[in-house]
Structure 1
Amino acid sequence: MIPFQNTWPYERIGQDVYVQNCPFCGADNVLLALKPRELEDLKDGVKKLLIFPCCRGKLTLVGADSDYLLASRALSRSGGR
């Protein structure tokens, strides 16, 4: 079972991948440096280092589904605020 505290919701709009809030600094509507192909790779189990452009917070992604990114560690739901 996937631990919910290690997940973060994302949205796809066209070819862009966004998160509503940054789990590190709390910035709103953050455009991620992830392409749709990389999301497919994550779904297949390929790991990816993600650096948030708003605050340079680093996160290792270990999986994804159609709604959530799965990280290697727990994420703060307060978003740094």
Structure 2
Amino acid sequence: MIPFQNTWPYETIKEDTYVFECPFCQSRNVLIPLRPKDFAAIRSGAKKLLVFPCCYNKVTVLDADSDYLLADQPLRKPPITK
């Protein structure tokens, strides 16, 4: 099962890939350095180092579908339980 906390949504417009919000610094509409050829390699099993240009935090992208990136570390905060 894929851990949901390790996923982050993205959007591709033409050749550019954006995340709506950086998971580290919460900057909005961040252009990330991933191109369509990178996604083809990621989907075929290659890992890709992703450095967010807004705050220079790094994650390794393990997989991607058409909506979400799967990283090697949690990108979401765990839910608060009482």
The question of a shared fold, defined as TM-score above 0.5 by the shorter chain, is answered with yes
RMSD: 0.8
> What is the TM-score normalised by the length of structure 1?
0.91
Unaligned runs of 5+ in 2: 78-82
Superposition pairs for residues 13-32 of structure 1, below 5 Å?
13-32=13-32
Which structure has the larger Rg over C-alpha atoms? 2
Which runs of no fewer than 5 residues in structure 1 stay unpaired? Answer: none
TM-score (norm 2): 0.90
Offset of residue 76 of structure 1: 2.8
Q: Distance in 1 between matches of 2:45 and 2:16?
A: 21
Q: Cα deviations across residues 18-70 of structure 1 (Å, max 9, x unaligned)? A: 00000010000000001101011111111010000000010111110010000
Consecutive aligned runs of 4 or more in structure 1 exceeding 3 Å deviation:
none
Inter-partner Cα distance in structure 1 for 2:57 and 2:8? 14
